[in-house]
Amino acid sequence: MNTEFLEEDGTLVFVYNADTGWRQAFWDTLHKYMRPDTYGCNLCKLTHGPIGPRESWRAFLQAVDRPVHFLHRDEYRQLQAEKDLEAVALPAVLQVRSGHLRILLSARELNAVKRLEVLVDVLRERLA
């Protein structure tokens, strides 16, 4: 796994509580819309529609003044094993600081957010 993103301070790392792969994405999309109350990744639910990232999410990511990296649950677990990182409840927003990943927005905080606009506002506030 490419871990170069860990070398640049300030990098935002969004970790989804979903695994990689097209089959997983298909089932996750169905689950997200058929049973949203039981879907396990509020970060996915807030930032992605049925065919990809929401436009306002894309706009936020383009406007943020730092590198951004995305990981899925299985990728984070692999990185965690390779780099001896601590376990983090997912989904989460992490930030690279002095070569370490620090929690910027915890799973508990992320799961309490009900609208994308609120998520963007919280992220802007924490990054200010």
How far apart, in whole angstroms, are the C-alpha atoms of residue 41 and residue 64?
22
Q: Is the peptide bond before 91 cis (omega within 30 degrees of 0)?
A: yes
Nearest to 65 by CA among 124, 2, 6: 124
Residue at 57: amino acid letter: W
Q: What is the pTM of this model?
A: 0.88
Residue 17 DSSP symbol: S
pLDDT tens digit sequence for 54-112: 999 999 999 999 999 999 999 999 998 888 788 899 999 999 998 889 999 999 999 99
Asked if residue 33 has pLDDT above 70, the reply is: no
Question: 111 near 44, Cβ under 8 Å?
Answer: no
- Give the DSSP H or E segment for 107: helix 107-112
Residue 81 sits in a domain of what CATH number? 3.40.30
Which domain does 108 fall in, by range?
4-127
In total, how many domains does the chain have? 1
